[in-house]
Amino acid sequence: MCGIAGYCGNGLPAWLEQSCTDLRHRGPDDGGVYVDPKGRIGLAHCRLAILDLSSAGHQPMSYGDGRYQISYNGELYNFRELRTELEALGYRFKSHTDTEVILAAWQEWGRQCLNKFNGIFAFGLWDATEHQLFLIRDPLGVKPLYWATASDRSVYFSSETGPLMKVPGITRECSPEALDAYLAFLWIPAPRTLYRDIQQLLPGHLLVCAPGKLPKIEMYTDLYAQILREPIHKRTPGELWEILKTCVNRQRISDVPIGVFLSGGLDSTGILAACEHQRDQLTAYTIAFNRIDSNFEAASNDLAYAKEAAVRYGVRHEILEVDANITTRLPEYLAHMDQPVGDHAPLASYLICQAAAARNTKVLLSGQGADEIFAGYPWHRAGVLASQYNHLPGILRQYLIEPVARRLPGGKGGKWLGNLRRLKRFLSSASLPWPERYVALCRYLDPNRRKEFQVQLQGDMAEKTYLDALRESADLSLLGQMLYTDLKTFLPDLNLFYTDRTGMAHGVEVRVPYLDLDMVRFAFSISDDQKIGLGSNKVLLKEAMKPHLPAGIINRRKAGFGLPVRSWMQSTLRPLIQEHLSSTRIRKRGLWNSQAVERLINEQQSGREDRAYLLFALLALELWMVHHLDNSR
C-alpha cells in the first residue's frame, strides 16, 4: 500500500512535496513527485514496497511513450493473468509490479480495463494526450480517496484528508450533516467527511477532470448491477471452500513477510486454514483481555480459541495482552485517524498493526467482510426475526411487550444482561415498517433524540444513505437488502475505513480475502437459508469450515472484534469522560447540548440504559477534535 496525492489545475508543486511528508507513514520505503511541463498537473507518491522491491517500482510511474502517468495505492491480485494477456498482445514490461500492468491495461482497453481488475486500489492517472486526470476507487472501497475543489476550480486529491487541509481556501469548518450522521451511527457515511469542503470518492466510482473545468463523477463498476440481478442458487460447502482457498492464496502474493489477524473466530481461523502452503512462515496476531472484562461484555475471550488455532495450523503466534490502561493511548491512535470514528475496534486493530510492524510483518490478512456478505451480524438475524414478531397482535406488542422492555435495565454488565441489551434494542425497532426498521436497528440515536443533542440541527440526512441503498435493492429479499446496504455503507465507511488507517499508521498493508470479487459474487448468489438458519448465522460458511476447523471454533458464540468498553466505563474511561465530556467542555466546544450529554452519562452510570458505545464515540470525537482541529490551526 501507499500514499497518493495530486492536483489538476493551478496547483502548487510545494504542496506535492509537503503531501509526501504528510503521507510518509503510508509509504516509508520510497517517494516521488511528477509535475507536467505546463505545471497544470501534479502527482505525489509514498511507496510501501510489497511487490518488486527494486527501484523499478518507483512512482509516479509512466508507461511507453509517457502519455500516461500514475500514482497508485493498492494491490491487483490478478495482475499476473492480465500481464500474460497483455504480453500476448505485444506489450513488454520493465518491472514485476502491478502498477505497470495497470498502465498497460489502460493503454489497451481504456477505462473498460477497470472491470477486469480484481483487487483493492485507489489511483490518479493522467492522460497527457487527452489532458484529463482520472481518479479511481476500487468497487468495495477498501482503499480511500478524498478530493476537494479549490476556489479557482483546481481539483486536489489524497489518500487522507490531512494534505487537503493545507490547500489554500480549504477550511476546517465541520459539516453539520456529518456530525448528525456521527451521532446516529458513530461514523460518517460517504461521500461526506467531517470537513465541509472535502468529499470521499464513492467506491466503484471514477472522477474525471481537466485543468480549468469542473470534475465529473460516474460509477464504473458493474459489481452492484451483477449483485442485483444475480440468480439465487443452492451452493455446496465444497464450492465455498474452494473459492475461499483461491481467494486467500491469491492474496498472499508478496515479496515481504505476511501475517494474519487471528481472533479465534470462524472468519480469521478460516483464512488460516485456507492457506495451502508455507504456513510456518506466517505470524498470527491476537489481542486478549482478562476474564472479568470478557464477562462484563457478555462475550467469550478470544485467546483460548486463537491459541488452539495457532497450534493446529503451525503458525507463529504473537499475543497482545491489554488491560484498561490502554485507554491512555486513545489520543495517540486518534492522531492517525484523519476522520473521527466512534467504534472501539480501531484501537484494537491499531495495536495489532503496531505489533506486526515491530516484527517486520508488512502485510496482514483480515477476516473483514465475511459478516457483511454471509449475514454474520446480530442485526441480520434481528431484521429477519422482526418480520415474524410483527405477526403478533399489535395491541400485545405496543401495550405489553415493548413498554415492559423499555423499563428493563440495559447498562449493566454480565452475560445475562448482554442478552437483555440485545432484546431491548431489537424491540425498540421491530414494530417499525420496512425499510425504516433496518435503519433503526443500525443506529444509536433516532432523529428526535439527536435534536436534543445538537445546538443547531442542519437537516436530517443521516438515514438517507441507508434508505437509498435499501430502496435500490428493493427487489432482493429482506436479508438481501440488508447485506447489500451493509456492503455499500457500514462496510466501507466504518470497517474498511479504520482497517486502512490503523494499518497504514504503521506502514502495514491489510488485505481482505472475503472481499475478493469472486467471493462477493458467490456470496450474493446463495439462498437466504444458506446464510441464516434456525439458531445460526453464516450457515454455509460454517458447513464449509467443518472439515477444516475445530468444532469449538465453528460453534462458538459470535464475539465482535474490539475492546471491552463497557467494562472499562467502570474504570479508566470514567475519568476521561468526566473530564472531556463535562458540561464546561461541551459548552466550550459548542456542538452539543450539555444537558443532553449529561443525561446520557447518568443513564449509563445508573445502569438504566446501555450508552457505553455512544459515550465512547463522543469521547473519541472530542479527543479527535483536540488533535485535528484545536492543535492544528
Q: What is the CATH number of the domain that holds 313?
A: 3.40.50.620
Q: What does the pLDDT read at residue 293?
A: 61
Residues 63 and 181 in one domain: yes
Give the domain-ending residue among 565, 595, 620.
Answer: 565
Structural domain count, the chain: 2
Q: What does the pLDDT read at residue 418?
A: 66
pLDDT-flagged residues of the chain (< 50):
none
Residues 150 and 269 in one domain: no
Judge contact between 50 and 509, C-beta under 8 A. yes
CA–CA separation, 171 vs 504, rounded Å? 25
Give the domain-ending residue among 522, 544, 565.
Answer: 565
Q: What does the pLDDT read at residue 216?
A: 97
> What SS3 state is found at 231?
coil
Residues 247 and 292 in one domain: yes
SS3 content of the chain, % helix, strand, coil (to 5): 50, 15, 35
Residues 237 and 194 in one domain: no
Q: What does the pLDDT read at residue 402?
A: 75
Residue 582 lies in a domain: no
Residue 486 lies in a domain: no
Encode pLDDT of 370-422 as tens digits.
999 999 999 999 998 888 888 788 788 887 777 777 776 765 655 556 677 77
Residue 459 lies in a domain: no
CA–CA separation, 313 vs 364, rounded Å? 17
Residues 246 and 215 in one domain: no
Residue 311 lies in a domain: yes
Give the domain-ending residue among 542, 565, 588.
Answer: 565
* Centroid of chain to Cα 530: 25
Q: Could you give the strand order of the β-sheet that contains 146-149, starting from the edge strand earlier in sequence?
A: 30-35, 41-47, 2-8, 155-158, 146-149, 199-200
Residue 52 lies in a domain: yes
CA–CA separation, 6 vs 148, rounded Å? 11
Residues 211 and 303 in one domain: no
Residue 53 lies in a domain: yes
Pick from 529, 613, 535: which is nearest to 568 by CA? 613
- Angle at 354 (CA atoms; ends 45, 629), nearest 5 degrees: 65
Judge contact between 576 and 327, C-beta under 8 A. yes
Enter the pTM of the model: 0.94
CA–CA separation, 368 vs 140, rounded Å? 12
Enclosing domain of residue 104: 2-221
Judge contact between 481 and 378, C-beta under 8 A. no
Residues 93 and 126 in one domain: yes
Residue 401 lies in a domain: no
Residues 329 and 216 in one domain: no
Buried b / exposed e along 396-427 (16+ C-beta atoms within 10 A): ebeeebeeebeeeebbbbeeebbebbbebbbb
Q: 158: domain CATH number?
A: 3.60.20.10
Residues 553 and 500 in one domain: yes
CA distances (Å), origin 17, targets 5, 31, 348, 403, 600: 10, 10, 32, 60, 45
For the chain, count helices (H), then strands (E).
Answer: 31, 19
Residues 242 and 199 in one domain: no
Beta strands per DSSP E along 27-103: 30-35, 41-47, 61-63, 68-76
Judge contact between 3 and 27, C-beta under 8 A. yes
Joined grid coordinates for residue 419: 442478552
Residues 182 and 84 in one domain: yes
DSSP string, 23-35: TGGG--SEEEEEE
CA–CA separation, 74 vs 3, rounded Å? 9
Residue 501 lies in a domain: yes
Q: What does the pLDDT read at residue 323?
A: 85
Joined grid coordinates for residue 405: 422492555
Residues 135 and 42 in one domain: yes
